Amino acid sequence: MVNTKVDLCGIQIDNPIIPASGTFGFGYEFAYNYDINMLGTFSFKGTTKDPRFGNPTPRIAETPSGMLNSVGLQNPGVDKVISEELPRLKSCFKKPVMANVSGFSVEDYAYTCEKLDAEEQIGWFEINVSCPNVHGGGLAFGTDPKNVAAVTKAVKKITNKPVIIKLSPNVTDITEIAKTCEAEGADGVSLINTLLGMRINPKTRKPILANTFGGLSGPAVFPVALRMIYQVYNAVNIPIIGMGGVSTAEDVIEMMLAGATAVEVGAANLVDPFACKNIIEDLPKVMEKYKINSLSEIIGGAHNG
């Protein structure tokens, strides 16, 4: 019998599969399709201090082996997440959940996290300093080590729950940002967020996305994500959540060998709502195929060969 359990920042989860923020809503939407308690956990919709309508449409564009999104952190705001979304989630998900938080200032991040900190069901904070399609926030924070340090420090002050910083790949050296997070007390890092990209309509000769640029996700980014996870594993001593183009159990094994403790699945959920369910069910067979008895034993295994 194989063991799929892993320890994520001091909390044991049944398997390393985590639907990524922005691709799984607040969870209960997917509970109509299958029992989401089979997940390790999931990262809920990126939440900000105030409600956000998001960017103008069109804000989705297809690409070869992936997609561009410029949704712009549409969400009801932290107060409604607490009063409406979390009670709905509690009715169908009995495990700790990961709260994904975004902001436009250090104070925004701290305020939103402090509000959510009181919610018993929240097990981890995933702090998004890396959204590439929001003006005035996100990418501006994630590409500057000083800003990342300030956000990390502020959030760590108001919570004893694990704080995981979500890193941007749109930087020269992602290990520098990861080291900054670790130095300021982050309990883990998650990577990668989407790569900045665009599409142009030849007929109109204009960008397809109303925001011009968007975040590229899907299988096209998997090799880039894998490389960055491998690099960051060598640079820090805190857990890594890997993500970027994951769609199969074999992808999960690769990311864990590169150094990930857990793995988020993003765009695949938008293609197939059963993507995470299928990966979890396939994991034991893939583990047996590669003679893996316990997933926790292979974390960073590619560095030993």
Q: Which residues are catalytic?
A: 131
- Two tokens at 111? 């305020």
- Two tokens at 2? 């194989």
Count each helix (H run) and each strand (E run) in the chain, helices first: 10, 15
Query: Rounded CA gap, 97 and 221, in Å?
Result: 26
The answer to whether 162 and 187 have CB atoms below 8 angstroms apart is yes
The answer to whether 49 and 188 have CB atoms below 8 angstroms apart is no
Half-sphere exposure of 305 (CA within 13 A, CB side): 7
- Two tokens at 188? 């883990």
Residue 293's alpha-carbon distances to 1, 65, 143, 283, 288, in angstroms, are: 8, 32, 39, 11, 7
- Two tokens at 106? 């250090």
- Two tokens at 253? 């094994």
- Two tokens at 23? 């691709």
